[in-house]
Chain A
Amino acid sequence: MSQSVNGNSEPLVRVENLTKHFSVRIGAYGETKATVHALDDVSFDVQRGETLGLVGESGCGKSTAGLTLLQLHRPTSGKVFFDETEVTGLPDKEMRPLRRRMQIIFQDPYSTLSPRMTIGNAIGEPLWLHELASGQEVQERIAELLDDVGLNPAFAFRYPHEFSGGQRQRVCIARALACEPEFIVCDEPISALDVSIQAQIINLLQDLQEEYHLTYLFIAHDLAVVRHISDRVAVMYLGRVVEMAPKEKLFDNPLHPYTNALLLSVPVPNPRQERQRQHTVIQGNVPSAISPPSGCRFHPRCPLAFEPCDHEVPEWREVESGHWVACHAV
């Protein structure tokens, strides 16, 4: 695993106060305008060679963070730097060479591959688009990429429906690798797969990271998986990052009450331990991102909530080296 998290290496990706709001229409006939606060004032960086895990429940904005970071959504405000270049507001033409270096793998390998395109063509398209290979080289490169992800190079002429979910995810990984990227956003790449196949894909992603010195932003809701694959972990709740730390610190000494609640909710695969565990589960549901609670967004569900929590947004601060948290009670 990568060991580049030493604090003084320059970040590959830097996100500053990133905010993304979506305008929607609600009501039975869409008669009311509203704003979804998908991402609010999020700042973090991703060091070269590391894996930053991004966890949170559905609707917390983790996928929006990944997409906005890649400029697949235009941010409402805030800045994103990739390798010291500001990519926010960059025209498409200047963005394209950068896009080659930052790729994405999506959750559902069924809907992200065109059913009418052979997987060889799907993998070859970025090569052609970015002029990375020509003529005979293209076929050779496709074979190489298929081999890299553990698929038989002879599969290049087959169509997606001939493959299982795990194999399709391998194809998607090969397609992302085709551009020789430095940075890959993995947006829940294993959530749609069965347990035994999940482990294959996790191992593959780790092998490729080592071989090609990749940097990952790994978005997932499964805390055990995130703990396994990440160097550092950021926890999101309702559009805000509430805690970020090296994984040992985050899992052994969670500071934010939400992180703590999340960890207590995860079942452990050990029956004796489960019987003795404290099962104080967190009450209630995640509120709507259309009208998020004032102050700290977690305060209506928080066991530690006190006076300032309902009107004052907690400051995002570093409580010890590398351990960031946004909570009044810490």
Chain B
Amino acid sequence: MSVLLDVQELQTRFQVRKGYVYAVNGVSFKLEEGETLAVVGESGCGKSVTMLSLVRLLPPAASIENGKVLLRGDDLLQIDQRQLRDVRGGQIGMIFQDPMTSLNPFINIGTQMSEPLIYHRGMSKKEALARSAELLEMVGIPDGEARLREYPHQFSGGMRQRVMIAMSMSCEPAVLIADEPTTALDVTIQAQIVELVKELRDRSGVAVIWITHDLSVVAGIADRVIVMYAGYIVEEAPVDALFEDPRHPYTVGLMGALPSLEGETGTRLTTIGGSPPDLEDLPDFCPFHTRCPYSIDRCRTENPMLEPVADASDRGHRAACWVDIREVEVQSNGAGASS
């Protein structure tokens, strides 16, 4: 498979009153054709800002300080607004978390759905509406033609997310970026949406970047996973390797913190003590060391690079940690209050 999207050393920061919030700090990753890449992390870890940086959909306070975003060789950070408009929605489709706010409440679904088809595909209004009706049926909304005349408030949350998916897939993009698309939905609806995206992906061969904080969802949909913390990628691995052999203490901590639907229940959850660091005042050594049960002296002086892990089952398994956690016994689980 060939590389579709190649992100190199991306750095994004926000200007605030007292200085800068360093949201993305040198993130590099590749996305191959037809692949599903999951990006996992807690709120404020930079996962959404990274993806918004790719298509330069950032608020005015943000600036991309460094890096390259190569989509089939073209650097999206260098092209002009006109070319960028062809990329957004044309080659890169996006779905956001909250389907309520990403649809315009004053415009009916048909008009909103046909807009990208008219702009990117040069269809006439009539053609675009006919295609939109087909797309609605494709994402499981029956009676598409009639529903095109309806407004967003007439759709439920799950249905609105289906509309968003239909819209983002309408121009047959090469990449679909889904930013927490199921977080606002109930679990039965979440299952429906995940199944729908998998089905569309398998049919169209679109590459998917799935941003989420929920490791369980990742297990079902991803080929590869990136774990982010404080604006850095701390671990990257094929999905099986990540779940069976996590190497970064943060990944290990996240997995231990998940209650399970099977097995023993009397056990205590392992926790990651403390809270994430202040992104305005990041240390120039490992940002996780204050919460890390494995930390050594080196963690307080140097920031580890993302490097291949020892004895990996897959060459693509990389982690940013000075310690080989398999060799260390941990006394406490890093449990403790945040005081």
Contacts and interface: CB of A to CB of B under 8 A. Distances in A.
A279 B219 CA distance: 14
Contacts of B101: none
Contacts of B339: 150-152, 155, 167
Interface string B135-159: 0000000000000000000001011
A200 B213 CA distance: 17
B220 A224 contact: no
A266 B257 contact: no
Interface in A195-212: 195-200, 202-204, 206
A166 B275 CA distance: 8
Contacts of A267: 190-191, 194, 214, 216-217, 219-220
Interface stretch (A100-108, A117-125, A257-265, A318-326): A257-265
A166 to B, nearest CB: 6
Bin the interface of chain A by size.
Answer: 35 or more
A5 interface: no
B213 A262 contact: no
A195 B190 contact: no
A269 B268 contact: no
Contacts of A224: 216, 258-261
A68 to B, nearest CB: 22
A44 interface: no
Contacts of A204: 337
Contacts of A247: 265
Interface in B243-271: 243, 253-262, 265-266, 268-271
A251 B261 contact: yes
Interface string B202-230: 00000000000111111110100000000
Secondary structure of the A contact surface, majority rule = helix
B187 A194 contact: no
B187 A266 contact: yes
A149 B337 CA distance: 8
Interface in A215-239: 221-225, 227-229
Interface residues of B, number: 50
A289 to B, nearest CB: 13
Interface in A239-277: 247, 251, 261-275, 277
B239 interface: yes
Given A265-B188, A285-B159, A164 B258 contact: no
Contact of B268 (A151, A164, A203): A203
List the 10 closest pairs (A to B, CB-CB), nearest first: A150-B337, A228-B259, A199-B257, A265-B191, A57-B186, A196-B272, A194-B42, A267-B216, A274-B220, A199-B269
Interface of B: 42-43, 156, 158-159, 186-192, 194-195, 213-220, 222, 239-240, 243, 253-262, 265-266, 268-273, 275, 335-339
Given A199-B272, A202-B269, A267-B220, 13 more contacts: A195-B257, A199-B256, A199-B259, A199-B271, A221-B186, A228-B260, A261-B188, A263-B261, A265-B190, A265-B191, A267-B194, A270-B219, A281-B192
6 contacts: A167-B275, A197-B338, A266-B191, A268-B220, A269-B215, A269-B260
Interface of A: 1, 57-58, 149-152, 155, 164, 166-167, 170, 194-200, 202-204, 206, 221-225, 227-229, 247, 251, 261-275, 277, 279, 281-283, 285-286
